[in-house]
Amino acid sequence: MKISEITAHVRKTALVTACGTALATGTAVADDHTLTIGMSFQELNNEYFVTMQEALESAADSLGAEVIITDARHDVAKQVSDVEDMIQRGIDILLLNPADSVGVETAVLAAKEAGVTTVAIDAQANGPVDGFVGSKNYDAGYLACDYLAQQLDGEGQVALLDGIPVVPILQRIDGCTAALDEYDSIEIVTKQNGRQERTHAMTVTENIIQAHPDLDGLFSVNDIGSLGALIAIEASGQDIKLVSVDGHPEAIEAIQRPDSAFIATSAQYPRDMVRVGLGLGLAKHWGASTAPAEIPIDVELIDRDKAADFSW
């Protein structure tokens, strides 16, 4: 069995387990109450999260559940307010994609006090959450940067584009750093915050290239930021190899272009993530005692050879 087939099987197994537990438990205890599911996103100006939203709405429709969606726009104060509003509207389950893992704790506490089942999605949240579903982000950073180091023949200068202060981003940086540290002739020359935004990441990358004219490689914590970095790299005319995390359609397209500086991304599976998160939320809401506290979702490195066959 190929690695890609194994990871697909693991993701499918996690999905079936979570949803199967939820539905089996729900059959015994569900009543005529219309289930209301709220999901608070850190942002919706990103196809990754839009893909999650679509998967959630489809799954909720199959359950006959109502869905309330909010967009924090990377503002944790707005996210807390959004969650408080959803609680007032009577949600049963909260799927929370934090804009700030620490700052969102107020919202988690409010949900707990109101008896709302809360599952953090994609990024962990401080406070008494009932569960967490997210990618293996350390692995995502490690796979991308190990591949980068191999493509650089184990030597050269590398820069890191950091992001917002949530656990997955920290884990991606940790994984990347660990991979690069295994190569004695690889030097991490700087780490800058690209804010996971295309325009800002482009500007930051331009400054990095000016400050480090011998730069050989760059790791971005997400694909949207990497697409801005790619513009700066191409404008510089320098041979700088770029790797990232997500599997965003634009990134996959860029990786497929001949002689592209963008060589690989560690792909996540947002549809699986939100479906498993909903399954876990249902199981917890309906009182399943065997439902796990956390469910990790595998990632897969997508290089030029695999890009043509990959999509979310």
245 neighbors 265 (Cβ within 8 angstroms) = yes
pLDDT tens string 101-112: 999 999 999 999
Residue 5 has pLDDT above 60, yes or no: no
pLDDT tens string 185-225: 999 999 999 999 999 999 999 999 999 999 999 999 999 99
Residue 264 has pLDDT above 50, yes or no: yes
Residue 17 has pLDDT above 80, yes or no: no
Six token digits for residue 305: 């050879």
Tell me the whole-structure pTM to 2 decimals.
0.85
- Report the pLDDT value the prediction gives residue 14, as an integer from 0 to 100: 43
Six token digits for residue 180: 């690069």
Nearest-5° angle of CA 35, CA 38, CA 44?
A: 145
Mean local confidence (pLDDT), 22-40 = 66
- Report the pLDDT value the prediction gives residue 26, as an integer from 0 to 100: 43
CA quadruple 17, 272, 269, 309: dihedral sign: positive
pLDDT tens string 221-254: 999 999 999 999 999 999 999 999 999 999 999 9
Residue with tokens 């190990």: 146
Q: Between 232 and 28, where is the model more confident?
A: 232
CA quadruple 294, 142, 264, 229: dihedral sign: positive
Mean local confidence (pLDDT), 64-80 = 97
Residue 8 has pLDDT above 80, yes or no: no
Six token digits for residue 45: 């100006």
CA 265 to chain centre: 12
Mean local confidence (pLDDT), 246-272 = 97
Confidence band of 289 (pLDDT split at 50, 70, 90) = confident
pLDDT tens string 136-191: 999 999 999 999 999 999 999 999 999 988 889 999 999 999 999 999 999 999 99
Q: Between 93 and 46, where is the model more confident?
A: 93
Average pLDDT, the chain: 91
- Report the pLDDT value the prediction gives residue 166, as an integer from 0 to 100: 83
Given its phi and psi angles, is residue 153 left (phi above 0), alpha (psi -120 to 50 degrees) or beta? left
3-state SS, one letter per residue, for the chain: CCHHHHHHHHHHHHHHHHHHHHHHHHHHHCCCCCCEEEEEECCCCCHHHHHHHHHHHHHHHHHCCEEEEEECCCCHHHHHHHHHHHHHCCCCEEEECCCCCCCCHHHHHHHHHCCCEEEEECCCCCCCCCEEEEECHHHHHHHHHHHHHHHCCCEEEEEEEECCCCHHHHHHHHHHHHHHHCCCEEEEEEEEECCCCHHHHHHHHHHHHHHCCCEEEEEECCHHHHHHHHHHHHHHCCCCEEEEEECCHHHHHHHHCCCCCEEEEEECCHHHHHHHHHHHHHHHHCCCCCCCCEEEECCEEEEHHHHCCCCC
- Report the pLDDT value the prediction gives residue 165, as an integer from 0 to 100: 82
Do the strands 66-71 and 36-41 form a parallel or antiparallel pair, or are they unpaired?
parallel
- Report the pLDDT value the prediction gives residue 88, as an integer from 0 to 100: 98
Residue with tokens 């694909």: 223
- The answer for residues whose C-beta is within 8 angstroms of residue 58's C-beta and 6 or more apart is none
Residue 15 has pLDDT above 50, yes or no: no
